[in-house]
Amino acid sequence: MTIIKTEKLTKVYDDNSLPVRALNKVDLEFEPGEFTAIVGPSGSGKTTFLNMIGGLDKPTEGKIIIDGTEISKLSDSKLIDFRLHNIGFVFQAYNLLPVLTAKENVSFIMLLQKTDPKKMEARAMELLKQVGLEDKVDVRPSKLSGGQQQRVAVARALASKPKFILADEPTANLDTESAFNLLDIMARLNKEENVTLIFSTHDQRVIERARRVVTLVDGAVAKDERR
């Protein structure tokens, strides 16, 4: 069963009238429960690829099919709704809302989904417990360490029960201990709950945990290894 499929996925940016080909006819498929690292040198297209399959940017050419839906053809409003219900994101910069507590940040996506308040409260508490932050539910991001903020971001990404989670360099701003703690949590969620994870990363610690490593060079797939 394929959850994500790209066909000849191409992205060209016009930088001061000089076209830059960030992705070049990328054909890839991902199955549920995968833990994949997208690797490659800076400028190889890793983040662009994640933005494409996450519906944050549209391709110049090619197709993106997620669970049978060709998202590259959706209108902007339908794409926003599709992302809300199907895709979880974890960013390098955490992207937590500073005025909200940890629990409120995790609940925010469910609020947008119009989840029942009691179910929303229960799921937020359950997720914060899963990431080891049950004692930080009422704490705002400014009072949390970088590792703790990123764990809140992981809980938030899981809150909507997405089909998969995209993580763009999630360990880049973390110290070694925090990075290993985060990876332990995500590896456990991947194994125990069959959460599909796709990372873009330079971090060897992430690459060692991944069960599949896709290498991009100059916007094209140079290598695709399964372990």
Instruction: Return the pLDDT at 220.
Output: 96
Instruction: Return the pLDDT at 188.
Output: 87
Query: What is the layout of strands, in order, in the sheet containing 87-90?
Result: 87-90, 164-168, 197-200, 35-39, 212-217, 220-226
In a domain, 108, yes or no: no
Residue 19 pLDDT more than 90?
A: no
Q: What pLDDT, in 10s, does the model give residues 121-150? A: 999 999 999 999 999 999 999 999 999 999
In a domain, 202, yes or no: yes
Tell me the pLDDT band of 16, cut-offs 50, 70 and 90: confident
- Summary mean pLDDT of the chain: 92
In a domain, 153, yes or no: no
User: 100 by DSSP, 3-state: which?
Assistant: coil
In a domain, 112, yes or no: no
DSSP 166-194: EEESTTTTS-HHHHHHHHHHHHHHHHHH-
Residue 101 pLDDT more than 80?
A: yes
Q: Tell me which residue range forms the domain holding 63.
A: 4-98+163-226
The CATH number of residue 219's host domain is 3.40.50.300
Total domains in the chain come to 1
